[in-house]
């Protein structure tokens, strides 16, 4: 055992973030820490690292050799890349820290063993001189492994791009890895391209360190983790297996808890009714008190947590013609440098095309050229009937000085305050979050405001730049489901391989100034097993009269509860038309077969 946390609780003022969080990290573990935005994942991680103190609970660490990759890479002008790679667990930094401690002890004037301290200080000086060159080479080598040159060593962190800063933090993990027992990572794949993420996966699988990872990247979790710890309502629940297995087990858990809770409530109600009847009929006896004691001894069952789901329904404008965008021999030159050349693209109505590639290869340049935002050479034709909606990962369309409500009212009119609140509520933006300036919102909350803006437009072509960035897993499911139902054309720049497999019917890789288009998913393009199932929000129905689903052959008895996802509705249409099913208003996420290309 390397680390154990029991019954951890943490509050910030009146807000209880954690109430009963538990985890145990053993040698060789790969653990995924998941939960919705704001669930307390980063807070729990900082408590495990010792950066925050818990209010109550017990934390035991059996090792101090812990590496940490922060969610937001260091961007201060005070630190160079060399500084960051050496903090806080780097070999040189440890030597310097001990030397400072010896200097402070000598300067204190206390009774110390001067000879021993002087000998240790002299040895540390020799180690520092011999380590300087060795560690410098080691740092440069770690930078090269993530695609950066040694030239960045002297640059300050604020002079680097977001992707470069994240790569520096990855290099820091490599520097620490040999000396660490545990690697803790908070969203390590944010801002990384697909190639770098897959490199990181392979590296972590070969590492001997135990892993604790906060991530919303479902492919990454599937490949890396063997246990999943979910934080929900301040409590943790552990599941064995990767993310896909977690989804299946959680659905079974919720189903079991729901049945047990209903049985408990029904039994308790029946016993209470019997007790009341006895008290009325035989008020002079005490039999009802015996019944009340039985009721008090009933094992109380926990009510399943009620989670609010994001509701995304993207409006479609009248369809465009069959050909939406066509380009032949397209090339783009910026600043005297050729970015793209000889691009051949033929995007049809209803295509859902995912564009991926390494950072800096020209993905955003390609999209800007297609939208005619930058000049290009060659043939480019856009259908006159194309009504384009654009979503930017940096959310440039938002006025960060406005509140979320004011941003919506600016589009729909100041008199429609109720409508604005309803639109934001669909994205789980309520209360104070609606009245705060957008600049004070988290990345995930800003993304949801930007999606609200997109919902207000009637489009038949959506151009999306990293649509799942900053979103937690439930929000990603909601967006993917909406795009699967959207009958317009989608062009999306993304590094999310799950999105490329479950939404896109075509993928395009931007590499070496060219674009390679493949009819199919990312996994099919790479020759890997494709995603066979996706998770969708499903509506709950009650069986009013018994029937048989002749597509599956399954029989449904009266009063049975059925979860039906949008992808399955066709198989139940007859029963719905005949009034054999009635919607209850409940919703749950459900794993269903991914739609085939010919069905999309």
**Is there a single domain that holds both residue 41 and residue 163?**
yes
**Is there a single domain that holds both residue 174 and residue 275?**
no
**Is there a single domain that holds both residue 42 and residue 137?**
yes
Residue that finishes a domain, picked among 463, 496, 521: 521
**Is there a single domain that holds both residue 240 and residue 264?**
no
* pLDDT tens digits, 425-471: 877 788 888 888 888 887 778 888 888 888 788 888 999 988 888 88
**Is there a single domain that holds both residue 588 and residue 504?**
no
Dist CA 477 CA 310 (whole Å): 9
What pLDDT score was predicted for residue 314?
67
Query: What is the value of pTM for the model shown?
Result: 0.71
Of residues 510 and 274, more confidently modeled: 510
**Is there a single domain that holds both residue 327 and residue 278?**
no
**Would residue 526 count as lying in a domain?**
no
High-pLDDT (> 70) share of the chain, %: 88
- 495 closest CA partner among 354, 356, 353: 356
Residue 38, domain CATH: 3.40.50.300
* pLDDT tens digits, 158-192: 888 766 777 887 787 777 776 788 989 888 887 78
Domain that holds residue 142: 3-245
pLDDT above 60 for 599? no
Residue that finishes a domain, picked among 261, 280, 296: 296
Q: Are 328 and 378 in contact (CB under 8 A)?
A: yes
- Per the listing, tokens 């590296």 go with 203
Write out the H or E segment, with its range, that includes residue 25: strand 15-25
* pLDDT tens digits, 285-329: 777 777 778 778 777 777 766 655 556 666 666 666 788 999 999
What pLDDT score was predicted for residue 491?
95
Dist CA 425 CA 482 (whole Å): 17
**Is there a single domain that holds both residue 218 and residue 239?**
yes
State phi, psi for 159 to the nearest 5 degrees: -90, -5
pLDDT above 60 for 595? no
**Is there a single domain that holds both residue 237 and residue 258?**
no
- 557 closest CA partner among 575, 536, 537, 577: 575
Q: What is the 3-state secondary structure (H, E, C) of 535-580?
A: EEEEEEEEECCCEEECCCCEEECCCCEEEECHHHHHHHHHHHHCCC
Say if residue 240 is exposed, middle or buried (CB neighbours under 10 Å; 0-12, 13-18, 19+): exposed
Distances (CA, A) of 525 to 350, 388, 497, 522, 529: 20, 28, 12, 5, 10
* pLDDT tens digits, 13-48: 888 999 999 999 998 899 999 988 888 998 999 999
For the packed helices 443-455 and 417-426, what is the interaxial angle rounded to 10 degrees? 120
What pLDDT score was predicted for residue 597?
45
How many domains are contained in the chain? 4
């Amino acid at each position: 055992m390397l680390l154990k946390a029991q019954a951890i609780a943490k509050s910030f003022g009146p807000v209880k973030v954690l109430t009963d969080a538990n985890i145990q990290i053993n040698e060789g573990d790969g653990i995924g820490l998941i939960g919705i935005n704001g669930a307390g994942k980063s807070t729990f991680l900082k408590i495990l690292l010792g950066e925050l103190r818990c209010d109550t609970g017990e934390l035991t660490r059996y090792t101090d050799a812990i590496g940490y990759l922060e969610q937001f890479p260091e961007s201060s002008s005070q630190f160079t890349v060399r500084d960051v790679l050496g903090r806080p667990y780097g070999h040189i930094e440890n030597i310097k820290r001990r030397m400072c401690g010896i200097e402070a002890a000598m300067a204190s004037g206390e009774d110390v063993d001067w000879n021993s301290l002087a000998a240790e200080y002299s040895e540390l000086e020799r180690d520092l001189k011999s380590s300087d060159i060795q560690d410098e080479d080691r740092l440069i080598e770690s930078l090269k492994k993530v695609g950066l040159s040694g030239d960045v060593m002297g640059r300050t962190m604020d002079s680097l791009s977001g992707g470069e800063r994240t790569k520096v933090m990855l290099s820091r993990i490599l520097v620490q890895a040999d000396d660490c027992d545990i690697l803790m990572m908070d969203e390590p794949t944010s801002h990384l391209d697909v190639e770098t993420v897959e490199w990181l996966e392979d590296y972590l699988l070969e590492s001997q360190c135990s892993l604790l990872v906060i991530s919303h990247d479902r492919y990454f979790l599937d490949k890396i983790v063997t246990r999943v710890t979910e934080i929900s309502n301040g409590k943790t629940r552990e599941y064995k297996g990767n993310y896909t297995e977690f989804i299946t087990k959680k659905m079974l858990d919720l189903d079991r808890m729901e049945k047990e809770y209903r049985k408990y409530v029904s039994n308790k109600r029946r016993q209470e009714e019997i007790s009341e009847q006895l008290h009325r009929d035989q008020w002079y006896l005490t039999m009802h008190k015996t019944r009340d004691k039985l009721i008090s001894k009933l094992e109380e069952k926990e009510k399943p947590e009620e989670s609010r789901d994001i509701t995304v329904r993207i409006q479609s404008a009248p369809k465009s013609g069959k050909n939406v965008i066509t380009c032949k021999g397209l090339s783009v030159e910026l600043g005297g440098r050729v970015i793209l050349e000889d691009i051949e693209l033929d995007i049809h109505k209803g295509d859902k095309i995912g564009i991926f590639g390494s950072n800096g290869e020209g993905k955003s340049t390609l999209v800007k050229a297609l939208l005619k935002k930058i000049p290009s050479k060659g043939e480019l034709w856009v259908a006159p009937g194309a009504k384009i909606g654009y979503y930017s990962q940096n959310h440039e369309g938002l006025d960060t000085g406005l509140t979320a409500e004011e941003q919506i009212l600016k589009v729909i009119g100041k008199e429609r305050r109720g409508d604005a609140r309803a639109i934001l509520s669909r994205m789980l933006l309520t209360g104070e979050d609606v009245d705060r300036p957008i600049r004070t919102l988290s990345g995930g909350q800003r993304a949801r405001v930007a999606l609200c803006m997109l919902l207000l437009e009637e489009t038949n072509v959506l151009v999306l730049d990293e649509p799942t960035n900053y979103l937690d897993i439930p929000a990603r499911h909601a967006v993917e489901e909406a795009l699967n139902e959207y009958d317009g054309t989608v062009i999306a720049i993304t590094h999310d391989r799950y999105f490329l497999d479950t939404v896109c019917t075509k993928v395009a890789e931007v590499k070496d100034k060219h674009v390679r288009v493949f009819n199919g998913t990312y996994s099919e393009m790479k020759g890997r097993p494709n995603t066979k199932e996706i998770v969708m929000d499903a509506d709950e129905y009650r069986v009013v009269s018994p029937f048989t689903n002749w597509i599956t052959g399954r029989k449904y008895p009266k009063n049975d509860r059925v979860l039906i996802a949008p992808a399955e509705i066709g198989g139940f249409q007859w029963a719905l038309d005949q009034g054999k099913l009635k919607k209850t208003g409940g919703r749950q996420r459900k794993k269903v077969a991914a739609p085939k290309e010919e069905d999309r």
